Amino acid sequence: MTYLPKPKLHRRDAPVNSLGYTRADYEGAVSTLCAGCGHDSISAAIVQACFDLDIQPHRVAKLSGIGCSSKTPDYFLGASHGFNSVHGRMPSVMTGANLANRDLIYLGVSGDGDSASIGLGQFAHVMRRGVNMTYIVENNGVYGLTKGQFSATADKGSQSKRGVVNSDSAIDLVSLALELGATYVGRSFSGDKEQLVPLIKGALLHRGAAFIDVLSPCVTFNNHAGSTKSFDYVREHNEAVNRIDVIMPHQSITTAYPPGSLREVVQHDGSVLRLRKLAEDYDPTNHLNAVTHLQQGHAKGELLTGLLYIDSSAEDLHVHLNTVDSPLNRLAERELCPGNATLTALNASLR
């Protein structure tokens, strides 16, 4: 970490987006995480994604639980709404917030401890309900805040910094999210922003439950030779199934790719996800195909990354519940109280 506030001097020719904001306008306070933490790269990727999408910072609500990862919302989108919830309970707070005001963009940031251990139940239900959100797990396989014990996502057989071998089976949050009904599922790596940034952009634009598992090495406790969540291990075993470009409805498509190598998925808002195929016969719109590939990759010791599954026709919680279009927190007495005459009529109809 550093004690200094971030310098306020910036380059004069810093790129600006269509709102006139620079990337620095999407940043937050200076990080207090360990130097080199993968989580800081994910924060930077979120900054980049929001900058690229011309998102107004005050239209975003960022929510988190407890842990190193859950501290990070302080380090990006300093002008957004935020809620740092009880350990593992971020999904229910996010569900409630989303129900109250469907107009905001919801971004949940959690860790492997917060989501796969104490909050596993909450994780399951927020996925199956299809809350319209982007849910990012910053996955480092250890409890960094308590000095590096194995977390529930640590692979069986991997070693801790002190040489202890993990004997428990790992929870794969990607498989779980797929099983539970998430409609946008991806996996990426904090050290690969070229893949991570478009994946976050696609998730922010997706309607429904979008989940991204981001491998984020813990430089202090889990970046050694026996680890399966280290920079070196992830780089060696990373098998990207595709690369995506996110194209907004108002943008024109300029780059061309050979026929057959490209697949375009149109999302509900008209944005286009252009998927450049890297793995043969991988079809991210086919649930069964995605699950099979994941299992096969797992058996071969590969870490499949990229956009693993997408259902562009997904519907979210509000559709399921048939709520009104206007956010519930804006419904005043006039809309909520139909008046004495209506009540009398209703009562009469029941007599």
Partner 1 sequence: MKPTDIGAPEYFHKVVDCQWACPAHTPVPEYIRLIAAGRYSDAYMVNWNSNVFPGILGRTCDRPCEPACRRGRVDEEPVAICRLKRVAADNKEDITDRLPKPVAKKNGKRVALIGAGPSSLTVARDLLPLGYHVDIFDGDSRGGGMMRSQIPKFRLPESVIDEEVGYILGMGVETHFNQRINSIKNVLGKGYDAIFVGTGAPRGRDLDLPGRKEAAAHIHLGIDWLSNVAFGHIDKIAKRVIVLGGGNTAMDCCRSSRRLGGEDVRVVVRSGFDEMKASPWEKEDAQHEGIPIINFHVPKEFLHQDGKLTGMVFEVVKAEYDAKGRRNLVPSGEADVTMECDAVLIAVGQENAFPWIERDIGMEFDKWGLPVLNEKTMQSTIPNVFFGGDSAFGPKNIIWAVAHGHEAALSIDRFCKGLDVKARPGPAVDIVSQKMGIHEWSYDNYISEEQRKRVPLKPLELALANIKVEVELGFDAKLGFAEAQRCLNCDVQTVFAPKLCIECDSCVDICPTECINFTIDGEEVELRSRLKAPAKNLDQAIYVAGNLKTGRVMVKDEDVCLHCGLCAERCPTGAWDMQKVLIQIAHAGAGGGK
Contact residues for partner 1, defined by CB under 8 A? 1-4, 6-15, 23-24, 30-31, 34-38, 40-41, 43-44, 190-191, 193, 217, 219-220, 223, 231-232, 235
Instruction: State how far Cα 330 lies from the chain centre.
Output: 27
Min dist CB 201 to partner 1, Å, is 17
Give backbone dihedrals phi and psi of 126, rounded to 5 degrees, phi first: -70, -30
Nearer to partner 1, 1 or 331 (CB): 1
Strands (E), 216-291: 238-240, 242-247, 262-266, 272-277
Nearer to partner 1, 36 or 270 (CB): 36
Nearest to 264 by CA among 238, 242, 280, 281: 242
Token pair belonging to 95: 């569900």
Q: Cα separation of 8 and 124, whole Å?
A: 42
Min dist CB 29 to partner 1, Å, is 12
What DSSP string describes 98-163?
HHH-TTSEEEEEEEHHHHHTTTHHHHHHHHHTT-SEEEEEEE-SEEGGGT-EE-TTSPTT-B-TTS
Min dist CB 197 to partner 1, Å, is 12
DSSP reduced 3-state for 44: helix
Nearest to 233 by CA among 224, 242, 241: 224
Nearer to partner 1, 188 or 271 (CB): 188
Nearer to partner 1, 118 or 197 (CB): 197
Nearer to partner 1, 193 or 276 (CB): 193
Helix pair angle (120-128, 173-180), 10° resolution: 40
The CA-based angle 55-57-59, given to 5 degrees, is 80
Min dist CB 76 to partner 1, Å, is 10
Min dist CB 190 to partner 1, Å, is 7
Nearer to partner 1, 12 or 162 (CB): 12
Q: Collect all residues with Cβ–Cβ distance below 8 Å to 337 and sequence separation of at least 6.
A: none
Min dist CB 14 to partner 1, Å, is 6
Min dist CB 192 to partner 1, Å, is 9
Min dist CB 304 to partner 1, Å, is 19
- What is the residue type of 117? S
Nearer to partner 1, 44 or 109 (CB): 44
Nearer to partner 1, 219 or 278 (CB): 219
